[in-house]
């Protein structure tokens, strides 16, 4: 899988950001907000991490690196469009795993990724009745 992050995979100009903010579907989480505008072009990422999120550039860059890396891994699975992530102050206290999990959860909630089947102890829900659960007709006890 080619997981590079070329310039063509980035939302870059202020006009592109403005278009996404104006026309996109928005999904939020306490840590970040995702603006997704579906287009025919391949998936592109834009990041907005202000000084309100973290006054230190090191912290802002850490957040951007974590989100970029997660996007890089998912880019080929995502439907075409522009994805702009706006970080919120809670993101400054999150570690890389929490940021990645939140970004993934937000993409699923927005409908950009299908809900994956998570391994667990419960079997998947099957709507078809099983042979043992079919009801059989009981003899009418009133007749007689």
Residue 76 maps to a domain: yes
Q: Read off the pTM.
A: 0.77
Q: Which of 116, 111, 100 is nearest to 38 (CA)?
A: 111
d(CA 12, CA 6): 12
The answer on pLDDT for 2 being more than 70 is no
Q: What is the pLDDT of residue 1?
A: 46
Residue 118 maps to a domain: no
What's the CATH code of the domain at 69?
3.30.230.10
Neighbours of 118 (CB within 10 A): 6
Query: Which is more confidently placed, 2 or 12?
Result: 12
Q: What is the pLDDT of residue 5?
A: 80
Residue 82 maps to a domain: yes
Residue 25 maps to a domain: yes
Mean pLDDT for 122-136 is 54
Residue 117 binned pLDDT confidence (cut-offs 50, 70, 90) = very low
Cα within 13 Å of Cα(111), Cβ side: 7
Expressed as residue numbers, the domain containing 34 is 7-110
Structural domain tally of the chain? 1
Report the percentage of the chain scoring pLDDT > 70: 77
d(CA 58, CA 44): 24
Q: Which of 74, 85, 110 is nearest to 33 (CA)?
A: 85
Residue 125 maps to a domain: no
């Amino acid at each position: 899988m080619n997981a590079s992050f070329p310039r063509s995979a980035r939302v870059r100009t202020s006009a592109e950001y403005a278009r996404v903010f104006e026309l996109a579907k928005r999904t939020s989480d306490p840590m970040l907000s995702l603006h997704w505008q579906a287009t025919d072009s391949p998936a592109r990422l834009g990041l907005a991490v202000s000084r309100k999120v973290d006054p230190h550039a090191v912290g802002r860059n850490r957040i951007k690196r974590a989100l970029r890396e997660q996007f890089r891994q998912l880019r080929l699975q995502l439907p075409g469009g522009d994805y702009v992530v706006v970080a919120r102050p809670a993101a400054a206290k999150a570690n890389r795993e929490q940021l990645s999990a939140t970004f993934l959860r937000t993409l699923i909630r927005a409908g950009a990724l299908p809900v994956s089947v998570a391994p667990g102890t419960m079997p998947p829900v099957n709507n078809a009745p099983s042979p043992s659960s079919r009801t059989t007709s009981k003899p009418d006890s009133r007749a007689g």
